[in-house]
Amino acid sequence: MSDAVGTPPKTRTPAAAEPAAPSAPDRGGIDPRLGLAGASLGAVLLEACGDGGSGSSPGGGTITPAAITTTQASRFLSQASVGYGRTDVINLAGSSYNAWLDTQLAMARPQKFWDFLIAGGYDAAANINSTAGFDAMMWSQLINSGDILRQRVGLALLSIWVVGIDGLTSSWRSFVMAAYLDGLWDNAFGNYRDIMEFVSTSPAMAQFLTFLGNSKANPTTGSIPDENYARELMQLFTIGLYQLNMDGSQVLSGGAPVATYTQADVSQAARVWTGYTLANTDNTTPARMRLPLIINNSTRETGASSLLNGAITIPAGTDGATARKILLDGLFNHASMPPFISKQLIQRLVTSNPSPAYINRVANVFVNNGNGVRGDMKAVIRAILTDAEARDDNQVTSTSFGKLREPILRLTQWARAFNVTSPTNQWPFGNTSSTANRLGQSPGRSPSVFNWFRPGYTPPGTAISAAGQVAPEFQIANEPTIIAYVNYMQSLIASGAGEAKPDYSSLTTIATDSQALLAELNLVLAANQISSATIAQMKSALDTIAVTTTTGINNRIYAAILLVMASPEYLVLR
């Protein structure tokens, strides 16, 4: 996303720019026996994602089938969770979507991020200037926690309200992030207005978008308040660059889109974000990083502020907390917020290009949950996942529906499908953001406020772009990153990560039958979306691996999982 108004904030890095054309990939690490997994997948993925043509577009409402098939259950769970196994599929097939949602939405968090760090002793003084425990904390929750819907929605919120640990400037950075993530995860099933309030008083966001210690204007020196958070609060977190209709389409004037705010509005809003500081000065422990920011009146702007053509007006002399409330309430009630946020949540959970009707239905639930409440996240999540467009089985063959699976979610799905455990709670997957030999993405390590990929990104020079559609995750997908993913997963599938090992015992009894093995993996990992033609190719490759020994059986299992997880029909989820 580019800036329409104002000067770039300090955290905008080259990673937020359009990606350069991929260089020629190094194929040296690919085992030639893996066939499809060793192929050049970049162009194939683009084709698999669709050419932007028309697909089915259900009329509206929700679909409640008389009985959920295992295929439907797996497809639903791939949209609603960070990963699942065969038992989850069977249990959902014997229940209903709403019953599953009721259970997940009522589930208390088994453990907070902060508590994981404390239990691991990471609050020791030696860790004050390190990020010790951070990656283990992230993977522990994403792979091991039972609240699989909350984990998925938490990641979705983190992709909107972006903070990356490498952009923090204080001590106790793991704890700063833990407190921030706990706030997002705790409020994932609450109200969006509460998320706005939490983030706006969070030490993590105040560091990442540089309003910690922000001071009022000084006429003598010519300094003005930092505008970073004021801008991104509007542009990325609430109302977007352009005014929207409820179906996500742009409001036009004379054929041109209408901006939601101007640079003058940014300057006026920045006055509100002055005076913010940490709650106390005790840095001997990380405890203060969990407390909301306080306001130092000596550095706070007390003059009047007015923005969005007077829709938000803060009188002179208003105290800091009230000024914040007026501004956040004004943005929360802005007409563009429901479609702007609803579309992004749909993109993160279900499909990159939701129809206007789908956006409109969810946006209306954002406005009113049925009981007059605006911003009810439980209602919005339910509306997204049970919408007719999301649940329509015909979408599996649509050329305009679906999304590329994020690398993080591929790893967590594998880990949950095969019961990866970490006996000493180290979860040694570490930082997986390397594009050379890891996933090219790592939870909580976004390089900029624009996340790993932008919601409006489209691969240049493709049919997707020509059709005016988007494919956000493709911003981090090219031949080198896909090859790195395949190589990394090849190692993980066979050996795990350190002490974090998978359990393939459920597959050993069927590994001698390649067709049965692939059928199981197709259901649990890919919701049966891998075609029979592709399965036949995979079977031919697997049948060349002898299974007369335990080693042979294991090798066939490893190869089968990798072939499935490297196939375009798995990587592009419909």
Low-confidence spans in the chain with pLDDT less than 70: 1-66
Structure-block tokens of residue 395: 């979408």
Amino acid at 445: R
CA distance 72 to 336: 33
pLDDT on residue 366: 98
Among the listed residues 409, 9, 473, 343, the one whose alpha carbon sits nearest the alpha carbon of residue 205? 9
pLDDT on residue 399: 87
Structure-block tokens of residue 529: 């979306």
Structure-block tokens of residue 443: 């939870």
Among the listed residues 241, 236, 239, 316, the one whose alpha carbon sits nearest the alpha carbon of residue 272? 316
CA distance 353 to 71: 23
Residues 221-232 as b/e (b if ≥16 CB within 10 A, e otherwise) read eeebbbbbbbbb
**Which residue(s) pair with 573 in the sheet?**
403
Contact 460, 18 (CB under 8 A): yes
Q: What is the pLDDT of residues 127-148, one digit of tens each?
A: 999 999 999 999 999 999 999 9
Helix-, strand-, coil-residue percentages of the chain, each rounded to 5: 50, 5, 45
- Burial label, 121 (beta-carbon count in 10 A; 0-12, 13-18, 19+): exposed
Contact 440, 433 (CB under 8 A): yes
CA distance 480 to 25: 5
Structure-block tokens of residue 559: 């190869």
DSSP 196-227: HHHHHT-HHHHHHTT-TT----BTTTTB----
DSSP 266-295: HHHHHGGG-SEE-S----SSSGGGGSPPEE
Q: How many residues does the chain have?
A: 574
DSSP 378-415: HHHHHHHHHBHHHH-GGGGG-SS--EEPPHHHHHHHHH
**Which residue(s) pair with 259 in the sheet?**
242
Helix or strand run (H / E) with residue 573? strand 572-573
DSSP 8-state assignment for residue 98: H
Verdict on whether the full-model pTM lies above 0.75: yes
**Which residue(s) pair with 257 in the sheet?**
252
Amino acid at 155: L
Q: How many distinct helices (H) and strands (E) make up the chain?
A: 25, 8
- CA distances to 379, 402, 417, 490 from 453, rounded to whole Å, are 26, 16, 26, 25
